Amino acid sequence: MVKVYTAQIWAAKSKSVQGAIDITVKSSDDLGKFFAPTWSMVVNYKNNRISTGEYIKEYIKLLHDRYNKDKESWRKILSMDKVVLCCYCKGIEIPDPMNCYTLDHFMSDSHNNIILRDAFCHRYILAYILARMGAEYKGEIKRGGTIS
């Protein structure tokens, strides 16, 4: 079972972070681009043309469509021992999974509705989806190696 971590982009550029994948449309490689949002989504969100909720729905639909077209990229990421999903978003801190919190608590309420936060990040959405596919979410890696 793959262990999934999240981090800001510094981790993808660091040689000391194993399994880091840049999932940005700006600077990722082929595997990372597969999981990246589109330029249109990013620009529309940054320019307030779409809401956080619309961005999340578009990103989830994009991943769903990509899954239907190319399951190999999903298999590849799920077959890794460890993956660190990295992007430029500041994001927000996810509660410590060791204190009985899971990504489900962060991303959904008791009815499995996505909770919209003022600050969010697509790396958390992808981590949530991977966790629903059997991966184990381990937390956000901070500079210095601490995990929250």
Per-residue pLDDT of 26-58, as tens digits, reads 888 899 999 999 999 999 988 999 887 788 889
Q: How many other C-beta atoms can be found within 10 angstroms of the C-beta atom of residue 126?
A: 24
> For residues 22 and 9, what is the distance between their CA atoms, to the nearest angstrom?
7
Average pLDDT over residues 75-84: 96
- Note if the pTM is more than 0.75: yes
User: Residue 70: CB partners within 8 Å, gap ≥ 6?
Assistant: 34
